[in-house]
Amino acid sequence: MLKGSIVALVTPFTKYGNVDYSELEFLVEQHIKAGTDAIVAVGTTGESTTLTHEEHINVVNAVVELSAGRISVIAGNGSNSTSEAVQLTKKMTQAGVDGFLNVTPYYNKPSMAGLMAHFEACADVTDKPQILYNVPGRTCSDMTPDIIEKLAQIPGVVGVKEATGDVSRVAEIKKRCGNGFILLSGDDPTSREFMLAGGHGVISVTANIAPEQVKAMVDAAVKGDSETANKLDEQLAPLHDMLFIESNPIPVKWALALMGWCSANYRLPLTPPEEANQAIIESVLEKANLINTQES
């Protein structure tokens, strides 16, 4: 399933900096129990930029094996080098993923012709569906609705993760690409409005720490039950805000560590949150009843 409540899963590390596959198994099981619709493995939140290609593929393989068909797995396959993205796509197709999340090539800022050639090259080496990933805050390149309309003509491109926070784009992309084109929010604070406007789900950072709550909100919003969705998202709002007080995934990993779900280990250049923000994270989690610092 490439719709609904999709978690942008963190990649846990040991204190020595290696991937912690035991903690990864725990996280996968938590999402299966919570009813999360799909896992994005090794996306931005999974610290894809600091994993080697071998580690990237191994983590995706592990998530597929651990999931054992009980939850859909979407692999991040983006790169600013088309040849690297193609190789990742080939290898992870063999792993048995259900689809790919392919970010706009970053830093080199390709032309429209370059974008078409890049996504076509990735689509040519797999029979799995591709979801475009538009996150101009990280790539400095915006896939506007007119660009998405052109890219949607590539066989295998089935949707977009829209992380601009601009809810007005839902109607414009629907108009250009049709109702069958999957629209996923990539911005937790505006995801409720995005889905109530006609979006099909969210790829969520918040779902890492509150999977059941995010799933319930998403289900209500996709059904058009605005009253329920608004009420549930009001409860989630402090979590949404807290998880972006520093660059993602710094806060969410710290939060998961406080919850006892994984260790707060990062790879440079990411480091633990500043002390003041550590206190904010702890306070928000306690108010949300996700931790209890009063327990003796």
Query: Which residues belong to the active site?
Result: 133, 161
Torsion (CA) 237, 240, 242, 247 in degrees, nearest 10: -160
**Is there a binding annotation on residue 45?**
yes
**Which one, of 125, 23, 144, lies nearest residue 82 by Cα?**
125
Over its C-alpha atoms, the chain yields an Rg (Å, rounded) of 18
**Could you tell me if 13 and 20 are in contact, meaning their C-beta atoms sit under 8 angstroms apart?**
yes
Nearest-angstrom CA–CA distance, 44 and 11? 10
* CB neighbour list of residue 263: distance below 8 Å, 6 or more residues apart: 12, 13, 14, 15, 20, 23, 257
Task: Give the Cα separation of 45 and 7 in Å (integer).
Answer: 9
The bridge status of strand 72-76 relative to strand 38-41 is parallel
Q: Token pair for residue 282?
A: 């702890």
- Cβ atoms of 266 and 250 within 8 Å: the answer is yes
Instruction: Give the side-chain half-sphere CA count within 13 A for 256.
Output: 30
Measured between alpha carbons, how far is 246 from 232 in angstroms, rounded to an integer?
A: 24
3-state helix, strand, coil in the chain (%, to 5): 50, 15, 40
CA distances from 48 to 56, 57, 208 (A): 7, 10, 16
Report how far Cα 216 is from the mean position of its chain's Cα atoms. Answer: 18
Q: How many residues does the chain have?
A: 296
Annotated binding site: 45, 203
Q: Which residues are annotated as a binding site for pyruvate?
A: 45, 203
